[in-house]
Amino acid sequence: MSFSAPLNEVIAALGGDLVGASDLRIARIGPLEGADAATIAFLANPRYRSQLSASQAGCVIVGPAMAEAAAERGGAYIVTPDPYLYFARLTQWWAARVRPSAPARIHPSAVIDPDAELGEGVDIGPLAVIEAGVRIAAGARIGAHCVLERGASVGADSRLAPRVTLGFDCRIGARCIVHSGAVIGADGFGFAPTKSDDGQGRWEKIEQLGAVVIGDDVEIGANSCIDRGALGDTVLEDGVKLDNLVQIGHNVRVGAHTAMAGCAGVAGSAVIGRHCTVGGGAIVLGHLSLADGVHVSAATVVTRSIAKPGTYSGVFPFDDNASWEKNAATLRQLHALRERLRALEKKL
Amino acid sequence: MSFSAPLNEVIAALGGDLVGASDLRIARIGPLEGADAATIAFLANPRYRSQLSASQAGCVIVGPAMAEAAAERGGAYIVTPDPYLYFARLTQWWAARVRPSAPARIHPSAVIDPDAELGEGVDIGPLAVIEAGVRIAAGARIGAHCVLERGASVGADSRLAPRVTLGFDCRIGARCIVHSGAVIGADGFGFAPTKSDDGQGRWEKIEQLGAVVIGDDVEIGANSCIDRGALGDTVLEDGVKLDNLVQIGHNVRVGAHTAMAGCAGVAGSAVIGRHCTVGGGAIVLGHLSLADGVHVSAATVVTRSIAKPGTYSGVFPFDDNASWEKNAATLRQLHALRERLRALEKKL
Amino acid sequence: MSFSAPLNEVIAALGGDLVGASDLRIARIGPLEGADAATIAFLANPRYRSQLSASQAGCVIVGPAMAEAAAERGGAYIVTPDPYLYFARLTQWWAARVRPSAPARIHPSAVIDPDAELGEGVDIGPLAVIEAGVRIAAGARIGAHCVLERGASVGADSRLAPRVTLGFDCRIGARCIVHSGAVIGADGFGFAPTKSDDGQGRWEKIEQLGAVVIGDDVEIGANSCIDRGALGDTVLEDGVKLDNLVQIGHNVRVGAHTAMAGCAGVAGSAVIGRHCTVGGGAIVLGHLSLADGVHVSAATVVTRSIAKPGTYSGVFPFDDNASWEKNAATLRQLHALRERLRALEKKL
C-alpha cells in the first residue's frame, strides 16, 4: 500500500476538530505503539493514556476528555465525541481508496440461467452459478464460485465473497456481507425416530420446507451455516453480525443488531433477542428464548431461557493441570460434600 | 408455494384414519399455533394438548390417545400410531410435490474425466469436477462445484449438495445426503514430534494412507469434516446423521443410526456405538469407546470410555455473571474446602 | 493398493538396522494388531509390548530398548532410535509411491489473470480462479476450485487442496498444505458500537486493512478460518499445524511449531507462543498472551494470559446425568457453601 492522503481530506470526509498540521500526509492507520510520523492512531480507552504520550504517531484521534493530553504530547490530533467510531469510519474511507471495487462485470465463465433477474450494476464473479428465478438487486456483487439456487434473492449493494452457497428460496437483504464458505439454507437437522422391520431404531428425515430470511446490513462470517426452517423460516433480523464458523439451527430467530463471535452455536427454534451478544464458542440450546440485551460470555452453555437483560456466564475456570485434576475430582462429590456440611451444621 | 392437495390424497399415500372432510384442500404444513383452515398440523406430545383445542388448523394428526380430544375440537383429524413419524413422512410427500427434482442432466460445464463411470440417470451440476476412476451409481445427483477426486465413489440415489469435496478413494453408500461445504477425506491430523538440527522441536507429517467409508442412508451437514484414516479407514456406518460443522477425526468409527448435533467433535480413533446421540458442541476425546445407546448431552466433554448405555452430562451451569464469578473462584479452592470439611468432621 | 516393496528398499531410503529377511516384500503399513506377514508395523510405546509378541507382522519397527523383545518374537525387525518418527517417514515414502503426484499442468478451465505470475512446474486444477497480481512459486499445486484473490502469494512446493480461498494480499510460505474449504483472509470481526438516529444501538464496520502471513511448513485443516488483521497482519509462524474447523481471529500471532487440534478457536489479538499445543475445542480469549511451551487441554477456555510453560486444563468432569445434575445444582451454591464452612470453622 503506497497510498497516502493529507489529513485535511480526512477531516473533510469525516469531520472532527483537527489541531495541528493539516497538510500532514497520512500513509497508514495504526496502533499508538509503534506508530511513526505518517501514522494516524486513536485513543478510545483512557486506560491507554500512557501510550498516547509515548506515541510517535503523526496524528492521534481522541475524545474531548483526552484533548489536553493530546495537546501536551505535541503533534496533530483530531477531537471527536467517539474516537472508536471515528476510527471505524476512517477504515471505511481508507479501504474505499486503497482497494476500490473493480468495475462491475458479468464474468463470461459464470453459469447464469436466463430466468435469473440481475439488477443494474450487478457484478458476477468467475464460475459463479446462478439458477432460475434468482433475483439480484442493483449494485450487488456475487463472488467467484458462489452458488445461488433457484428462487434465491440478494438485496441491493450486498456482497457475497467467493464460495458462498445461498440455498433455494433464501433471501438476503440490502448491504449485507457474506464471507467465503458460508452456507445459507442447508437442511435443518430434523428426524423422527422410528424402527426398521427388525425392531432396530433409525431416523426418518423431516424435509425442511422453510427457507432463510436475512435482513439488511447483516454480516455473516466465513464457513458459518444458517439452516433453513422446518416449516417456517429461519430469520436473521437487520444488523445482525455473525463471526466465522457460527451455527444457526432451523427456525431460529436472531434479533436485530445482535452479534455472535466465532464458533458460537444456536440450536433449533431458539429465539435470541435484539442487541444481544454471544461470545465465542458459546452455545444456546434449542427452543429457548433470550430477552433483548442479553450478553452471553464466551464458551457459556445456555440451558434455559433468559428473561432479564444482563451478562451471563458459565465456564469452568482453567488452572494448571494438577490443580484442575484435584478440583475436578472433588467436584464429582460436591453434592455429597454439601450433605456432609449439613450434617455438621445440624450437629452444632 | 401455491401448491395444495386434498386430504384424501395424503391418506392414500401415507395411510392413517381420517375423520372429517376428506375433500378439504391442504395448502401448508404448520404448527398448531397460528394454523389456518388450510393448514395440516400435528400433536406428538400430549403436553401440548391445550394447543390442540385452540388450533384453527384444518386438519390435525394425532395419536390414538388424543383422538377424543381431536374430536372435541371439531374439524378433520387423522389418527395414526406415531404422529411425529407421520408428520415426517408427510414432509417428504410434500417436498416431492412442492419441489420435484429437475430431470437429470450432465451439465456441459462440468469437468468429467473420461475414466469416470456414471450410472443411469446420474445428475452432474454445473462446474463439478469428476476425476478419473470415480464411480457414481444410478440416480445419484452431484451438485454444482462438487469435487470428486480420483477413485471416489457415490452410491445409488445419493445426493451431494453444491460445493462438497469427496477425497480420493473415499466411498459414500446409497441414499446419502451431503450438504454444502462438507469435506470428506481431508488428511487426518497426524504428526510425529521430532527435532531440527538446532535442537528445536518440530512436527513430521504422517501421511494419511486410509480413506473414508460411509454406509447407506447417512446424512452429513454443511461444512462438516470427516478425515481419512491414517492406516485403515474412517467409518460411518449405515443411517448415521451428522449436523453442520461436525468434526470426525481419522480412524473414528461411528456406529449405525447414531446422530450428532452441530459443532460436535470426535477426536481420532474414537469408536462410537450404534444408536448413540451426541449433543451440540460435545467433544469425544481420542481413542475412547462409547457403548451402543450412549447419549452425550450438549457441550459435554467425554474424557474416558463409557461402557454402559445411558445419558451423560458435564456442563458448567451458567448463571448471572456475578454469581458465576463467585462460584468459579471458589471452585478453584474446592479440593482445599474438602480438606477443611474433613478436618472439621474429625474434630467432632 | 496393490503396491508392494522389498524391505531393503525401505532401509535404503530411511536407514535403520534391519534384522531378518531383507527380501521380504511389504504390502501395507498397519498396526501390530491384525497385521499379517506382508505388513510392516511399529512399536513406539513400551506399554504395547504385549502386542508386539502376539503380532503376525512381517516386520516391526522398534527402538533399541525393544530390540531384544523383537528378536524373541522372531521375524524381521528394524531398530531405530525413534520408531514413531521412522514410521512417519515411512508413510511419506509410501505415499510418494502409492499415489505419486500427477505431472503438473495448467488446467484449461482455470480462470487465470494474465497478470498472475506462475513459477516453474506450477499445477493449477480445473476451474481454479487466479486473480491479477497473484504469485505462485515453483512447484506449488493449486487444487480445483481454489480462489486466489489479487496480490495473494503461495510459496514453492506448497499444496492447496480443492476449494481453498486465499484472500487478497495474503501470503503462504513454502511447503505448506492447506486442506479443502479453508478460508484464509476473510475479514476479522470488528465493529464499533454506535447508535442510529432513533437512539437504537447498531454496529459500524471496521474495515480490516491487514492481511494474513503464513510461514513455511504450515498445515491448515479443512474448513478452518484465518482472518485478516485489522491494521497489521495475522501471522502463523513456520511449522504451525492446525486441524480442521479451527478459527484464528484477526491480529493473532501463532508461534512457530505450535499445533492446534480440531474446533479450537483463538480470539482476536491473542499471541500464542512457540511449541505450544491447543487441544480440540479449546478456546483462547482475545488479547491474551501464552508463553512458549504452553499446553492447553482439550475444551479448556483460557481466560487470562499464561506466563509459564506447562499444561493447563479446565473442563467440567462429565458424569451420568443424574449425578451431574446434583453436582451442577450444588455448584451454583458453592460460594455460599464456603461461607457456611467458614462459619462452622469459626464456631469451633
Determine the distance in angstroms separating the CA of C10 from the nearest CA of chain A, rounded to an integer: 41
A89 touches chain C (CB under 8 A): yes
| Residue C271 near residue C287, CB atoms below 8 Å | no
B207 pLDDT above the threshold of 70: yes
Give the DSSP letter of residue C306.
B
Q: Which three cell numbers stand for residue A84?
A: 472508536
Specify the amino acid at residue C266: V
Relative orientation angle of helices A334-347 and B334-347, to the nearest 10 degrees = 30
Q: Which three cell numbers stand for residue C220?
A: 491448515
Task: Kindly give the residue spans of alpha helices, DSSP state H, lying in chain C.
Answer: 7-14, 49-54, 67-73, 83-98, 321-331, 334-347
pLDDT at B120 (0 to 100): 98
CA separation for the pair C294, C308 (Å, rounded): 7
What single string gives the DSSP state of each residue in B119-151? -TT-EE-TT-EE-TT-EE-TT-EE-TT-EE-TT
Chain A residue closest to B243 (CA)?
A: A189
Q: To which residue does cell 433480523 refer?
A: A237
* pLDDT tens string B297-347: 999 999 999 999 999 999 999 999 999 999 999 999 999 999 999 999 998
What is the percentage of chain B residues whose pLDDT exceeds 70? Answer: 100
- pLDDT-derived band at C347, boundaries 50, 70, 90: confident
* pLDDT tens string A241-262: 999 999 999 999 999 999 999 9
CB nearest B205 (choices: C29, C84, C92) = C92
pLDDT at B196 (0 to 100): 84
B1 pLDDT above the threshold of 60: no
Q: For residue B238, how many other CB atoms are within 10 A of its CB?
A: 18
- pLDDT-derived band at C311, boundaries 50, 70, 90: very high
| Residue C181 near residue B146, CB atoms below 8 Å | no
pLDDT at A87 (0 to 100): 97
What is the percentage of chain B residues whose pLDDT exceeds 90? Answer: 94
CA separation for the pair A331, B317 (Å, rounded): 13
- C-alpha neighbours within 13 Å on the C-beta side of residue C296: 34
CA separation for the pair B153, B151 (Å, rounded): 7
B175 pLDDT above the threshold of 90: yes
CA separation for the pair C24, C7 (Å, rounded): 6
- pLDDT-derived band at A178, boundaries 50, 70, 90: very high
What single string gives the DSSP state of each residue in A240-305? -EE-TT-EE-TT-EE-TT-EE-TT-EE-TT-EE-TT-EE-TT-EE-TT-EE-TTEEEPTT-EE-S-
CB nearest A183 (choices: B223, B281, B333) = B223
* pLDDT tens string C314-327: 999 999 999 999 99
CA separation for the pair A103, A122 (Å, rounded): 10
CA separation for the pair B15, B22 (Å, rounded): 13
CA separation for the pair B276, B261 (Å, rounded): 11
B285 touches chain C (CB under 8 A): yes
Q: What residues 255-274 of chain B have any CB closer than 8 A to a CB of chain C?
A: 263, 265, 267
Q: Which CATH class is domain B5-98?
A: alpha beta
Q: With contacts defined as CB-CB under 8 Å, which chain B residues touch A147?
A: 143-145, 162-163, 180
Report chain A's C-alpha Rg in angstroms: 26
Tell me, rounded to whole angstroms, the distance of Cα A115 from its chain centroid.
33
Determine the distance in angstroms separating the CA of C120 from the nearest CA of chain B, rounded to an integer: 24
Q: Which of A241, A243, A279, A235 has its CA nearest to residue A258?
A: A241
Pairing of strands B25-26, B5-6: antiparallel
- pLDDT-derived band at C342, boundaries 50, 70, 90: very high
Give the active site residue among C179, C250, C257, C295.
Answer: C250
Give the DSSP letter of residue A47.
G
Q: What residues 290-309 of chain A have any CB closer than 8 A to a CB of chain B?
A: 296-297, 300-303
Chain C residue closest to A220 (CA)?
A: C189
pLDDT at C110 (0 to 100): 98
Mean pLDDT for C35-61 is 94
Return the SS3 of B16.
coil
Return the SS3 of B340.
helix
Number of residues assigned to chain A: 348
B332: exposed, middle or buried (C-beta count within 10 Å: 0-12, 13-18, 19+)?
A: middle
Do domains C5-98 and C111-312 share one topology? The answer is no
A341 touches chain C (CB under 8 A): yes
Specify the amino acid at residue B288: L
- Determine which of C42, C164, C326, C334 to mutate to test the interface with B (most B C-beta atoms within 10 Å): C334
Would the CB atoms of C205 and A219 count as touching at under 8 Å? yes
Name subunits touching B (3+ CB pairs < 8 A): A, C
Contacts of C263 (CB under 8 A, 6+ apart): A263, B247, B263, B265, B283, C243, C244, C245, C246, C280, C281
CA separation for the pair B151, B149 (Å, rounded): 6
Answering whether pTM is above 0.95, one says yes
Contacts of A29 (CB under 8 A, 6+ apart): A39, A40, A41, A87, A90, A91, A94, C209, C231
Return the SS3 of A51.
helix
CA separation for the pair C275, C277 (Å, rounded): 7
pLDDT at B23 (0 to 100): 84
What is the percentage of chain C residues whose pLDDT exceeds 90? Answer: 94
Mean pLDDT for B171-196 is 97
C95-102 own/partner pairs: CB under 8 Å, 24+ apart: C95/B207, C95/B209, C97/C3, C97/C5, C98/B209, C98/C1, C98/C3, C99/B168, C101/C141
Relative orientation angle of helices C321-331 and A334-347, to the nearest 10 degrees = 50
Beta partners for residue B42, in sequence order: B61
CA torsion sign for A298, A300, A301, A303 is negative
B161 touches chain A (CB under 8 A): yes
- pLDDT-derived band at A22, boundaries 50, 70, 90: confident
Q: With contacts defined as CB-CB under 8 Å, which chain B residues touch A232?
A: 30-31
Q: Which CATH class is domain C111-312?
A: mainly beta
* pLDDT tens string C208-266: 999 999 999 999 999 999 999 999 999 999 999 999 999 999 999 999 999 999 999 99
Mean pLDDT for A19-27 is 90
**B327: part of which helix (H) or strand (E)?**
helix B321-331
Q: Which of C303, C191, B280, C286 has its CA nearest to residue A259?
A: C191
What is the percentage of chain A residues whose pLDDT exceeds 70? Answer: 100
- pLDDT-derived band at A12, boundaries 50, 70, 90: very high
pLDDT at A3 (0 to 100): 87
pLDDT at A177 (0 to 100): 98
Specify the amino acid at residue A294: V
* pLDDT tens string B57-113: 999 999 999 999 999 999 999 999 999 999 999 999 999 999 998 999 999 999 999
C145 pLDDT above the threshold of 90: yes
Mean pLDDT for A211-224 is 98
Q: Which three cell numbers stand for residue B294?
A: 450412549
| Residue B299 near residue A286, CB atoms below 8 Å | no
* pLDDT tens string B108-140: 999 999 999 999 999 999 999 999 999 999 999
- Determine which of A183, A195, A342 to mutate to test the interface with B (most B C-beta atoms within 10 Å): A183
Domain ranges (residues) in chain C: 5-98, 111-312, 321-348
Chain A residue closest to B346 (CA)?
A: A344
